Amino acid sequence: MNLQAPVPPANRPPRIEVIGVTGMPEITEGDRLGGMIVSAAEGQGTPVETDDLLVVTQKIVSKAEGRTVDLDDVEPSESAQKLAEETGRDPRMVELVLRESRAIVKTDSRRGIIVTETKHGFVCANAGIDTSNVPGDGIVSLLPERPDESAARIREQVSEELPGVTVAVIISDTFGRPWREGHVNFAIGVAGINPIKDYRGTPDAYGEILRVTSIAVADELASVGELVSAKAIGVPVAIVRGYGYEQGPDGVGALLRHRSMDLFR
């Protein structure tokens, strides 16, 4: 017999739910992603609700915005050809990497790796250009030009489809990390959520004032979304429900460490 009194609802421990959105068709340029997400979520019996957070993979955003390129249409420059020889990469791919980057951070000729700082300020391999999950040989996807605007547009479209329903949106992509093995999903665009939860100035469990702790919640939510939206199973969107995020106007730039503070460069 359980003699323990039931826990009152107000005192239940925090809990979130992560729901993969299935049933979305192949995305093509011009598609209205917000409406498609709402329809797919409703079709599987998990309609979008107010205060939900949508984690949308970069690939479908790039497809909808026409950010795909046929390598046959790319003419490599001399600098691209030289770097391609050094790294063993396709010179057309290297040309796109250079076009999409502010600076080259690191190259590894042994493994053919080119790490760059993109025009957005992201530090990642190959400027985030990807050959997976795109239809056709020689077709690659580029990152959205303005990912925060992409997230805001999806958020607005959801509100148009569901009047009175307010959501937050994170655009996610998979990056490596310089200090650990394995890849994780990061936020590359946000709308309707403060990407960082700042604990500075608040007391810890023992009453000590925290001075440096701030949590990249947008990155954490992007990663938890990946657990149900794996690359190979056709689930490009996740609904995160029950997380009490702070609304705010800050974009993904709040997550980008200034070069002068970056110990790896």
pLDDT tens digits for range 54-88: 999 999 999 999 999 999 999 999 999 999 999 99
| Dist. CA 151–CA 157, nearest whole Å | 10
Q: Does the residue 8 lie in any domain?
A: no
Concatenated DSSP letters of 80-149: HHHHHHHHT--HHHHHHHHHTEEEEEEEETTTTEEEEEETTS-EEEGGG-B-TT-SSTTEEEPPPSSHHH
Confidence of residue 200 (pLDDT cuts 50, 70, 90): low
Q: Does the residue 32 lie in any domain?
A: yes
Pairing of strands 168-177, 53-57: parallel
Q: Which residue has the tokens 């017999």?
A: 1
User: Based on the domain organization, do 118 and 184 belong to the same domain?
Assistant: no
Residue 95: CA count within 13 A, CB half-sphere: 15
Q: Does the residue 171 lie in any domain?
A: yes
pLDDT surpassing 60 at residue 20? yes
Report how many domains make up the chain.
Answer: 2
**In CATH, what number is assigned to the domain containing residue 228?**
3.30.1330.100
User: Based on the domain organization, do 75 and 63 belong to the same domain?
Assistant: no
Q: Does the residue 3 lie in any domain?
A: no
pLDDT tens digits for range 91-145: 999 999 999 999 999 998 888 889 999 999 999 999 999 887 777 788 999 999 9
Predicted TM-score of the model (pTM): 0.90
Q: Does the residue 1 lie in any domain?
A: no
Concatenated DSSP letters of 181-243: EEEEEEEEEEESS-S-EE-TTSB-TTSPBPSS-EE-HHHHHHHHHHTTS-GGGT--EEEEES-
**In CATH, what number is assigned to the domain containing residue 79?**
3.90.1660.10
Domain span at residue 106? 68-141
Q: Which of 141, 164, 189 is the endpoint of a domain? A: 141
User: Based on the domain organization, do 114 and 242 belong to the same domain?
Assistant: no
User: Which of the pair, 214 or 83, is modelled with greater confidence?
Assistant: 83
Percentage of the chain exceeding pLDDT 90: 73
User: Based on the domain organization, do 166 and 198 belong to the same domain?
Assistant: yes
pLDDT surpassing 70 at residue 207? no
Q: What is the mean pLDDT of the chain?
A: 89
User: Based on the domain organization, do 246 and 217 belong to the same domain?
Assistant: yes
User: Based on the domain organization, do 152 and 227 belong to the same domain?
Assistant: yes
User: Based on the domain organization, do 233 and 148 belong to the same domain?
Assistant: yes
User: Based on the domain organization, do 117 and 83 belong to the same domain?
Assistant: yes
User: Based on the domain organization, do 122 and 51 belong to the same domain?
Assistant: no
User: Based on the domain organization, do 157 and 50 belong to the same domain?
Assistant: yes
Q: Which of 95, 112, 141 is the endpoint of a domain? A: 141
Q: Does the residue 82 lie in any domain?
A: yes
User: Which of the pair, 7 or 224, is modelled with greater confidence?
Assistant: 224
Residue 230's pLDDT is what?
A: 65
Q: Does the residue 263 lie in any domain?
A: no
Q: How many CB atoms lie within 10 A of CB 140?
A: 22
Residue 12's pLDDT is what?
A: 72
Confidence of residue 4 (pLDDT cuts 50, 70, 90): very low
pLDDT surpassing 90 at residue 198? no
Q: Does the residue 4 lie in any domain?
A: no
Q: How many CB atoms lie within 10 A of CB 100?
A: 19
User: Based on the domain organization, do 137 and 153 belong to the same domain?
Assistant: no
Q: Which of 107, 141, 175 is the endpoint of a domain? A: 141
User: Based on the domain organization, do 49 and 38 belong to the same domain?
Assistant: yes
Q: 104 φ, ψ to 5°?
A: -90, 125
